[in-house]
Amino acid sequence: MIVLLFIAVAYLLGSLSFAVIVSRAMRLPDPRQYGSGNPGATNVLRTGRKMAAALTLLGDALKGWGAVVLARMLAPQFGLDDGIVLLCALAVFIGHLFPLYFRFQGGKGVATALGVLVGLNPWLGLACLATWLFMAGVFRISSLAALTTAALASVYAGLLIGWGDTAMTVLVIALLLVYRHKSNLIKLISGQEERIGARR
């Protein structure tokens, strides 16, 4: 029962879509109704409101980080091992992809995945962030940066932490992230993917 409670709390935390929350608070259009239709920081940036995009990015990353850190802090008090931390990492990420509060219409998970990875291991998170920033800086395409980072994330995890349960958890998160970017893959192949900051 305690395990299920941990997982449920992590999922509900992940279900907080900060793209929608911030847009409503700042009286911006619903990010699910314009641009790419994705409730994420990149799409919020298409409104031209950089602060709104930054708050979305921060909120989505912090919830991923918070779920992992809280699980690690509280697990010993309930006699749970580190396995619950990995389950909560998956739960908060899945909550972002399929949020209960927003009809299961979630984002693609880049910021939340980053927060989760930093929570699991700061060096892992920094390696992935550096990869994303490099790719985004060179090519100015958010989805390409995300997909490249996802492809390398589990490799980083294996090299930094070992080829165990954590690396497998990171691999599952990476595969889910790639799945959520399937439409972007098609656009990348056809050369129609938009660049960061472009408006529709």
Q: What stretches of 41-141 show up as alpha helix (H) in DSSP?
A: 41-45, 50-74, 83-97, 110-120, 122-139
Give the Cα separation of 114 and 129 in Å (integer): 7
Predicted confidence (pLDDT) at residue 153 exceeds the cutoff of 70: yes
Q: How much is the pLDDT for 76?
A: 95
- Per the model's pLDDT, the better-predicted residue between 48 and 72 turns out to be 72
- Give residue for tokens 């697990």: 75
pLDDT confidence bin for 48, thresholds 50/70/90: confident
Q: What is the mean pLDDT of residues 2-21?
A: 97
Characterize 169-191 residue by residue with b for buried, 16 or more Cβ atoms within 10 angstroms of its Cβ, and e for exposed.
bbbebbebbbebbeebeeebeee
- 3-class DSSP string for 82-110: CHHHHHHHHHHHHHHHCCHHHCCCCCCCH
Length of the chain: 200
If one counts every other C-beta atom within 10 angstroms of the C-beta of residue 121, the result is 17
Among 60, 58, 77, CA closest to 5: 77
Non-local CB neighbours of 139 within 8 Å, separated by 6+ positions: 145
Q: What is the mean pLDDT of residues 150-161?
A: 97
What's the predicted TM-score (pTM) here?
A: 0.94
